[in-house]
Structure 1
Amino acid sequence: MRTYQIAAGKTGEFLGIYEREGLGIISQYARLEGCWTKDSGTLNSIVFCWGYEDYAHRAAQRVKLAADPRWQASRRAFCRISSIRNRCSCRRCRFARWTEVSDEFSGRVWPRVPRTG
């Protein structure tokens, strides 16, 4: 998960820039599992959840992403109005069940089949 702290009143602008200039690039390296804006707690925050096969895959993909000149350029655009608040790696607990994941950028909804075992 990655949380961006957005300058007050700039959440819509951040999401627009991210969608136009960053999403297509980072999606070549990671699978967007979810993107949320906060309604409580620390406001003006956007939380992204990116999926990888495992931690080694994540590490390799992050190196490739960081080296991509298109990402370097687009990142500068949206980082002007945000800062990375926190980063963490998470693993879904075996008892957690996905019902669906919605894609804020396209409006698509994908059903999720929970893993068993």
Structure 2
Amino acid sequence: MIYDHRTYTCRPGTIKKHMKLYEEHGWDVQCRHLGNPVIYAATETGDVNSYVHVWVYEDAADRASKRAAMQADPDWQAYLAKSAEAGYLVKQENKILTPVSFFKG
């Protein structure tokens, strides 16, 4: 099992607009390919212009396969174009996490 932990930062004052754009054009297609995330959440304290989501995969091959299918989907490509045009995002950080031996979650 691996976890893909992603943190995105929006330009100040645009996170609600970005979330609305994603909800309307990105959420369904992303879940169609990746399944439901472990969490998808806006930051409440600290950098309030950021949000986090975590997706779980069987292994790196499963992640690569699912993400490739999503990238090839015209609906996802349309969302990415809308997101780029809006220009709300300024930063993205990805981390691949592996559970420690004693974690049974």
Bin of the TM-score, shorter chain as denominator length:
0.7 to 0.9
Identity of aligned residues (%): 27
Superposition RMSD in Å: 1.8
TM-score, L = length of structure 2 = 0.79
Task: Write the letter of the residue equivalent to 1:81.
Answer: Y
- Cα distance in structure 1, aligned partners of 2:17 and 2:101: 37
Are residue 92 (structure 1) and residue 103 (structure 2) matched? no
Higher relative contact order (CA 8 A, sep 6+): 2
The match for 2:13 among 9, 28, 39 is 9
Identify, as 1 or 2, the structure richer in helix: 2
1:27 aligns with 2:31: yes
Distance 2:70 2:49 in 1: 26
Gaps in structure 2 of 5+ consecutive residues:
none
Equivalent pairs counted in the alignment come to 98
Q: TM-score of the superposition, structure 1-length normalised?
A: 0.72
Report the equivalent of 2:49. Answer: 44
* Structure 1: stretches of 5+ with no match in the other structure: 98-113
* 2:81 maps to which of 76, 82, 91: 76
